């Protein structure tokens, strides 16, 4: 399978949201609110990152009775490396812009 | 849009269900993820926006070619898109005319087609079916038909709060045994309700009806050889079962104790009952405890016979070992047993060693379908066989004699015994067993633990990861206000007294644990004293049960060695 580039604005926003979460498991609605991405964009991205081994997922038991389990996500070590790389790139670009 | 908030929510649910169908198959995990998230969005408008996005996500994913995309699926997607347009229009139409009521629980009476029903029993039986949603979060996603039998009390009018018996396995049929169940009333003044849990007995669905026998033999092969090859072969057989189930349109996430507990409550409502008394046995206790936790106001009293608790549970072989040691210790203290079989524990260990070196070939009945009706009694099969015999108190008299005979190289009778144990295992629906266990139990998604013995390896360790993702866990009703009686047998190799007492203590002050000496699994079945205590407790659950009969248990009448038995000690 051709590996899709992960440098779109939406992907970067998502990776940044994970970095902001300090390695915690995040659920879909939480990520949607954090990134402003609608579910129609968010889930295809999550699926793609997951297929690429950049994201791991699991089911988390509901905190309140009567609610279903939630699918939660966090970056794998490769995903973390990519997110940090992109963050570094973004910071570098900002600095380059500042000194241009 | 002038729709009411509840209508927006219902439309959102319908849209997400549609997205789930678009993503069915390999994408079902993601479909569940999107669908479950909806329940956490409190604002109805936001929920609807989320749901619309989910539909978009599902089509984008499929059209992007994820998980395979063929020319055939182009047409399917095109058709599905048209269906979506129609669906949304229809959904809005439903909002306009207010026809979005979920299905209602209803009992439909049918003829009673059950074996061994006597003319006296027939008028006391009511048989029927109840349609339950496949998925309670999405009641429009289809239904399963459950078989229900009501055995009316001989004493009429009966009390308005009947007893529902929840059977074990998971995967054991129940309604087919209605005639047997009618013989020893749980509580004389109350009707008894029997339900075949989803995927068992005469209830829908059949997970992999063509392969169930194969799964049994696959497990039997592990018991016999305890080899990696047998484990791999079983994995392939279960994978075939899973594929068959999926190809027949089943979503394997629609199984597990939580949904089974929901089924029971649905049946209660279908029968028009406000409250009932629940009696769970073995795995049935897992369902019963979850039912108590989810619907506490509907349970008048609960009896938990031979608790099979939710994870985390100790390694099974450690519970077996505790039960076996207790049995051997009892033999050492019993005059008849210790005279005929001095140091039974040592004899057992020596037998394991001997069979490991030299398995004994025995003749077995043709129904076991073994080559030339012969099979090998190996050390691992011996270990499994002794474990199985510890379940059944009526097997205790012969257990020391069987160990001694195999120790002495005598396989007479062992073949018949294997056939009996095999037949007992054959009633269970193996596909359903996997469908429930793999949803419920995290430990079965892990690797086979260090130090695992054959009884551990028979569990579905290398099956569940391929089968389905973990579902919501079964529950223990900690601090329950429901009067609860917990029964544990001294030699139970599954739910030993230590474990049962622990779970009773977890549940708190309303739970009372009673240990039954010289009994194994399924206390009430094997102990008349247990049956009396249960009946008295269900009649008056607020009263402290009189358990004094547990002190007057009849001794085990151990069979001595045959006079001509070969001596080799």
The tens place of each residue's pLDDT in chain B, 569 residues long, gives 334 557 788 888 888 888 888 877 777 888 889 888 888 888 787 888 888 888 888 888 777 766 554 545 545 555 555 555 555 554 544 443 333 344 579 999 999 989 999 999 999 999 999 999 999 998 877 889 999 999 999 988 888 899 999 999 999 999 999 999 998 888 989 999 999 999 999 999 999 988 988 999 999 999 999 999 999 999 999 999 999 999 888 999 999 999 999 999 999 999 999 999 999 999 999 999 999 999 999 999 999 999 999 999 999 999 999 999 999 999 999 999 999 999 999 999 999 999 999 999 999 888 888 889 999 999 999 999 999 999 999 889 999 999 999 999 998 888 888 888 888 888 889 999 999 999 999 999 999 998 899 999 999 998 999 899 999 999 999 999 999 999 999 999 998 899 999 999 999 979 999 999 999 999 999 999 999 999 999 999 999 999 999 999 889 999 887 655 544 44
Compute the distance between CA of residue B150 and CA of residue B174 in angstroms, rounded to an integer.
12
Strand order in the sheet with B276-281: B107-110, B125-133, B143-151, B190-195, B159-166, B276-281, B299-305, B484-489, B511-516
How far does the CA of residue B36 sit from the closest CA of chain A (Å)?
6
Compute the distance between CA of residue B389 and CA of residue B412 in angstroms, rounded to an integer.
17
Pairing relationship of beta strands B360-363 and B374-377 according to DSSP bridges: antiparallel
Name B35's Cβ contacts closer than 8 Å, sequence gap at least 6. A68, B16, B17, B19, B20, B54, B137, B138
Put simply, whether A39 touches B (Cβ < 8 Å) is: yes
Predicted TM-score (pTM) above 0.90: no
Pairing relationship of beta strands B159-166 and B276-281 according to DSSP bridges: parallel
How far does the CA of residue B300 sit from the closest CA of chain A (Å)?
21
Put simply, whether A60 touches B (Cβ < 8 Å) is: no
Stretch 442-471 of chain B: residues touching chain A, C-beta under 8 Å: 469-471
Contacts of B261 in chain A (CB under 8 A): none
Put simply, whether B478 touches A (Cβ < 8 Å) is: no
**What is the token pair recorded at B467?**
């089968």
Contact (CB<8Å) A43/B29: no
Of B41, B52, B473, the CB nearest to A29: B41
Contact (CB<8Å) A68/B41: no
Put simply, whether B32 touches A (Cβ < 8 Å) is: yes
Contact (CB<8Å) A71/B294: no
Put simply, whether B36 touches A (Cβ < 8 Å) is: yes
Best residue of A40, A41, A46, A51 to probe chain B, by most B CBs closer than 10 Å: A40
Put simply, whether A46 touches B (Cβ < 8 Å) is: yes
């Amino acid at each position: 399978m051709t590996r899709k580039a992960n440098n779109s604005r939406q992907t970067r926003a998502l990776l940044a949201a994970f970095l902001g979460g300090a390695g915690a498991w995040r659920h879909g609605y939480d990520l949607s609110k954090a990134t402003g991405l609608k579910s129609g964009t968010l889930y295809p991205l999550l699926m793609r990152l997951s297929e690429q081994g950049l994201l791991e997922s699991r089911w988390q038991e509901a905190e309140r009775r009567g609610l279903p389990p939630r699918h939660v996500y966090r970056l794998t070590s490769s995903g973390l490396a990519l997110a940090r790389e992109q963050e570094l790139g973004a910071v570098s670009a900002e600095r380059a812009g500042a000194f241009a | 849009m002038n729709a009411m908030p509840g209508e927006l929510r219902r439309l959102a649910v319908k849209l997400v269900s549609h997205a789930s169908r678009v993503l069915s198959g390999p994408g079902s995990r993601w479909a569940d993820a999107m669908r479950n998230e909806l329940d956490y969005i409190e604002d109805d408008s936001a929920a609807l926006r989320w749901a619309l996005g989910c539909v978009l996500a599902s089509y984008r994913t499929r059209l992007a070619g994820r998980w395979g995309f063929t020319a055939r699926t182009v047409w399917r997607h095109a058709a599905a898109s048209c269906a979506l347009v129609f669906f949304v229009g229809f959904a809005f139409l439903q909002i306009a005319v207010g026809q979005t009521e979920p299905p209602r629980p209803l009992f439909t009476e049918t003829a009673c087609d059950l074996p061994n029903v006597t003319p006296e029993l027939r008028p006391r039986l009511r048989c029927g079916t109840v349609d339950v949603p496949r998925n309670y979060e999405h009641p429009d996603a289809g239904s399963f038909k459950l078989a229900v039998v009501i055995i009316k009390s001989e004493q009429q009018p009966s009390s308005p709060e009947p007893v529902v018996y929840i059977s074990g396995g998971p995967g054991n049929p129940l309604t087919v045994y209605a005639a047997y169940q009618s013989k020893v009333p749980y509580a004389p003044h109350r009707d008894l309700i029997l339900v075949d849990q989803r995927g068992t007995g005469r209830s829908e669905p059949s997970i992999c009806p063509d392969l169930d026998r194969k799964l049994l033999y696959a497990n039997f092969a592990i018991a016999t050889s305890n080899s990696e090859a047998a484990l791999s072969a079983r994995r392939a057989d279960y994978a075939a079962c899973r594929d068959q189930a999926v190809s027949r349109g089943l979503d394997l996430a629609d199984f597990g104790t939580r949904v089974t507990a929901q089924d029971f409550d649905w049946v209660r409502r279908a029968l028009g009952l406000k409250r009932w008394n629940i009696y769970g046995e073995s795995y049935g206790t897992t369902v019963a405890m979850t039912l108590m936790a989810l619907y506490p106001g509907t349970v008048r009293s609960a009896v938990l016979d031979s608790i099979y608790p939710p994870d985390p549970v100790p390694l099974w072989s450690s519970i077996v070992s505790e039960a076996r040691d207790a049995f051997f210790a009892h033999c050492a203290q019993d005059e008849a047993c210790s005279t005929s079989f001095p140091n039974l524990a040592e004899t057992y260990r020596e037998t394991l060693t001997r069979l490991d070196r030299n398995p004994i070939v025995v003749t077995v009945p043709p129904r076991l379908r073994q080559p030339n009706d012969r099979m090998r009694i190996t050390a691992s099969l011996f270990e499994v066989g002794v474990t199985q015999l510890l379940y059944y108190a009526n097997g205790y008299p012969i257990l020391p004699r069987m160990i001694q005979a195999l120790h002495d190289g005598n396989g007479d009778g062992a073949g018949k015994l294997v056939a009996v144990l095999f037949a007992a295992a054959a009633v269970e629906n193996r596909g359903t067993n996997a469908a429930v266990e793999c949803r419920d139990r995290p430990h079965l998604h892990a690797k086979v633990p260090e130090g695992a013995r054959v009884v551990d390896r028979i569990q579905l360790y290398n099956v569940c990861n391929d089968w389905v993702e973990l579902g919501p866990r079964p529950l223990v009703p900690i601090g329950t206000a429901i009067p609860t009686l917990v029964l544990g047998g001294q030699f139970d190799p599954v739910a030993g007294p230590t474990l049962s007492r622990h779970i009773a203590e977890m549940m708190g002050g309303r739970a009372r644990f009673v240990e039954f000496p010289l009994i194994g699994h399924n206390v009430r079945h094997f102990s008349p004293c247990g049956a009396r205590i249960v009946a008295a407790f269900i009649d008056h659950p607020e009263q402290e049960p009189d358990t004094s009969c547990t002190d007057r248990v009849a001794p085990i009448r151990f069979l001595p060695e045959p006079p001509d038995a070969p001596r080799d000690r």
